[in-house]
Chains A and B, each alone.
Chain A
Amino acid sequence: MSGRESVLSAIREALSGVPGSERADDVPRAPVQRVDHAGPDVVALFAERAAEYRATVVRVPAADAAAAVGRALVRTGARSLVVPYGLPEDLVPSGPWSLLTDVPSLTVGQLDAADAVVTTVATAIAMTGTVTLDHGPGQGRRILTLLPDQHICVVRADQIAPDVPEALVLLDPCRPSTLISGPSATSDIELDRVEGVHGPRTLDIVVVEDA
């Protein structure tokens, strides 16, 4: 008997006491009337919670977005900036850094040597201070936001969902997704929190609000 058949038959034998009338698809779901945890000002809540995760958060009008990205690069002294395919041109700041576009695909070595990356997001979550990437246009392949040491995220205020359930329904399960809450961190040594083990050590979030 193959592993598949032996596991399945063991499961069926173990579950022989489950009445046949009970339907597998009648899964009890979360309450329809969800409690609103986030309150009315999701943008302020998002900014506060993301900052608690030691992300640097700024709120700017649309016209100032590229400049805010530029200020984040100046702060860390980045000299090269990775620009994913599909990133709106008006988010790319000019300055004393080289631009690396991912068309054609950058090599692992090029990405490892790059200082920073700027992306948009698929959605964000106010309650948890999370940004979510589904790696569509403007967000880049997963590796783009992993190897450079600084990740700058541009979030439109209308992309901020109040809580996890409202954000998850916006994701396409067929695409890979990454939920990011603050920079890489560990508490494995005597529970002391240290930022930046393997992922980007710096996370900048630029929240764009209509002026």
Chain B
Amino acid sequence: MTGADNVVWLGTPAFPEAARSALADSRLRTNLRRATGTIRDKRLAVAAELEDWEELRETAAAIKRHTLRHLDHHLLRLEKAVTAAGGVVHWAADAADANRIVTYLVKQTGADEVVKVKSMATQEIGLNEALADAGIRAYETDLAELIVQLGGDRPSHILVPAIHRGRSEIREIFRREMGEWGRPAPEDLTDEPRDLAEAARLHLREKFLRTKVAVSGANFAAADTGTIAVVESEGNGRMCLTLPETLITVMGIEKVLPSFADLDVFLQLLPRSSTGERMNPYTSLWTGVTEGDGPQHFHLVLLDNGRTATLADEVGRQALACIRCSACLNVCPVYERTGGHAYGSVYPGPIGAVLTPQLVGIENAASLPFASTLCGACYDACPVKINIPEVLVHLRAEAVEAKRRGRLLPTTEGLAMKAAGVVLGSPRRLAAVQRLAAVGARLVARDGRIGALPGPFARWSGTRDTPAPARESLRAWWRRTRTPTNDDARTAAEGEGRR
């Protein structure tokens, strides 16, 4: 598997075009504005309850950064602890490896269906599709993931993947599709959220009770004890984690924490940052297998899939500290207007804009680091203090470099920058160009603004109006309006002489 194939994402159209069509969808924007605004306000309120919120963030960031710097050590400890507790650990270098391992493990049980807990890692590797190719049906059991799956759709938010759907659409999807997958929706199904949730409960309950194999992700794994943590709200996670005979957990290698005690920091930060709650309704912790309680076979699949390449970049590495809370999505002015689909990746929003290009290779996702205003709101919101703007700027440079490598002829942008360098290198040339520009630009400007330009400037001017330059430059104005004193005259003359 090479290039962008290791992560499920569309890649095309690139962000600017995808964003343009998303912006035209006014209902999407209304839904998103309401959702992100609501979660944002709740998050601020519950974060403010902890006076040491900033210290918690610092601690979490420090733990994550340190763990990443010694990742091999902690993963080996985790492997040892999980094995000692009766689990089996597998290592997957890429998506194909992971899919092959999970498919093999499911087939070993003789099952042809699995229930799934919402998990970004399995979405990233396209596990459901890989299982389907092997004749195994995967049922998403998180309500939003179920809506997305039944709708033949893609998630648009890390935390609330079906936020782009309205209640009446969901009702139609349930009525149309549930029967294809199992228990049909009730005839008299309304579009009340309570009714829709009840339909999902009935539809999924029979699957929970019958299915022998479950697949989950992991929010955290403690290296010292081998304990895995999954946080959720609905109880579908608990169903999957405790009812089946076999549990397969697919976990990115960056999710490991040094110790069980570290969970306290992250269990304070994650729910508050993601849903704006003090705690999510259900958190499950388990260590290997427990006789007589829960699955008697437990497999942990440790997934690389581009993470070690990310780890090798000392600036970009910090993106691996992400705990998938989605706080950065909810504060992002770009995400709020375009929604998640425009990013083309299972990881949307600011974190997606730094994570996806690193996982798939910058040359395959060159537009994503530019899908940001660099306003820094994401950095302020991130509970583990990932400096997303820093990584974005770093990746922009990489994208430009990758583009340069791929070209024999200089780009228009490159030529323009070179010309700018020549002009800016000499005050005399700058003054001359400013005079010319003032005259030229005022010829094309209307009402003091320059609109669309022809030729090579069309792409730049197509998305912005530019104020027409002033009649004269600051320097020209200075010379004209300030009567030089003797001292000024001498300084100015010296300055002229140096040129």
Residues of A within 8 A of B (CB): 2-4, 6-8, 10-15, 17-18, 22, 24-31, 34-35, 37, 49, 53, 105, 108-109, 112, 125, 127-130, 135, 141-143, 146, 163-165, 168-169, 171, 173-192, 194, 196-200
Contacts and interface: CB of A to CB of B under 8 A. Distances in A.
Given A3-B91, A198-B141, A198-B235, 19 more contacts: A15-B72, A27-B63, A29-B63, A31-B52, A112-B209, A141-B242, A165-B264, A171-B285, A174-B85, A177-B285, A179-B267, A181-B282, A185-B234, A186-B234, A188-B144, A189-B147, A189-B196, A197-B233, A198-B236
A10 B239 contact: no
A51 B235 CA distance: 19
Contact of B280 (A2, A168, A174, A181): A181
A189 B72 CA distance: 41
A164 B268 contact: yes
B236 A197 contact: yes
B293 A141 contact: yes
22 contacts: A4-B91, A6-B91, A25-B258, A27-B63, A28-B66, A29-B261, A108-B243, A109-B209, A125-B279, A128-B278, A143-B293, A163-B268, A165-B268, A168-B260, A173-B285, A180-B281, A184-B235, A185-B234, A186-B233, A190-B193, A198-B201, A199-B282
Nearest to B141: A198
A185 B281 contact: yes
Interface size class of B (residues with CB under 8 A): 35 or more
A181 B278 contact: yes
B281 A11 contact: no
Contact of A11 (B72, B141, B204, B268): B72
Contacts of A171: 285
Nearest to B257: A27
Contacts of B66: 26-28
A24 B38 CA distance: 40
Interface stretch (B304-312, B343-351, B370-378, B446-454): B304-312
B308 A143 contact: no
B308 A10 contact: yes
B371 to A, nearest CB: 24
Contacts of A197: 143, 197, 200-201, 233-236
A105 B292 contact: yes
Contacts of B290: 135, 175-176
A146 B201 contact: no
A189 B197 contact: yes
Nearest to A197: B234
Closest 3 CB pairs of A and B: A199-B235, A24-B70, A10-B308
Contact of A189 (B62, B74, B170, B268): B170
A141 B39 CA distance: 34
A170 B491 CA distance: 76
Contacts of B292: 105, 141
Interface string B291-319: 01110000000101000110110100000
B160 A191 contact: yes
Contact of B283 (A31, A173, A179): A179
